[in-house]
Amino acid sequence: MDAQSVKLDVTEKADHRVASTYLQDKFGKLDILINNAGIALDGLGEVTVSTTSDDIIHRTFDTNFFAPIALTQTLLPLLKKSDAGRIVNMSSVLGSQTLHADPSSQIYNFKALSYDASKAALNSFTIHLAYELKDTKIKVNSAHPGWVKTDMGTEAAPMEIPEGAKTGVALALLGEDGPTGGFFNDAGPVAW
């Protein structure tokens, strides 16, 4: 297997252009884009809605929402050259407005305004982009990987990284008859 890399800070538009040029020159197209960058600066329950600073909100949205949109827009011409382009936005169940509003849901008591809102906004981007691309072979979906042992998920998380990657990989490898414009975890659809 031949692995190659290119430096990409998702918040740096210059890096987006460099990556696009590299992919164009090397491959002429892009088959799969997984928008997987994310930060959680407000912590679960550590900062309340009334104490969340503008800085935390802006920095979180810059990474979790604005950067994936900008990167996707930059790389979309290359995805359109693919025979079956796939875009996977790594979201979170914490971006589910339905579950956050339901007192009986497992996430009801876990509130982090900037992180949750940024993932809900990313889910909205998924719906809108899937609609725009509905007459193409490109499929766009959001994925909730689960609570995974990463720097953000911490060692307290029950899932190892390979297990957490399963949903995103499955959506990246969807067949022609697969869904688009949905939100999924390893068990199936997640409520918006």
Read off the pLDDT of residues 26-85 as tens digits, 9 standing for 90 and up: 999 999 999 998 998 987 666 788 889 999 999 999 999 999 999 999 999 999 999 999
Report pTM: 0.93
Domain segments of the chain as ranges: 13-189
Phi, psi of 18 (to 5 degrees): -60, -45
User: Rounded to whole angstroms, what are the CA distances from 175 to 138, 166, 172?
Assistant: 11, 16, 9
Helix axes 67-79, 13-26, angle to 10 degrees: 20
The answer to whether 87 touches 127, Cβ cutoff 8 Å, is no
**Which residues are designated catalytic?**
115
Give the three-class secondary structure for 123: helix
pLDDT at 102: 97
Strands (E), 39-187: 86-90, 139-143, 183-185
Question: What is the architecture, at CATH level 2, of domain 13-189?
Answer: 3-Layer(aba) Sandwich (3.40)
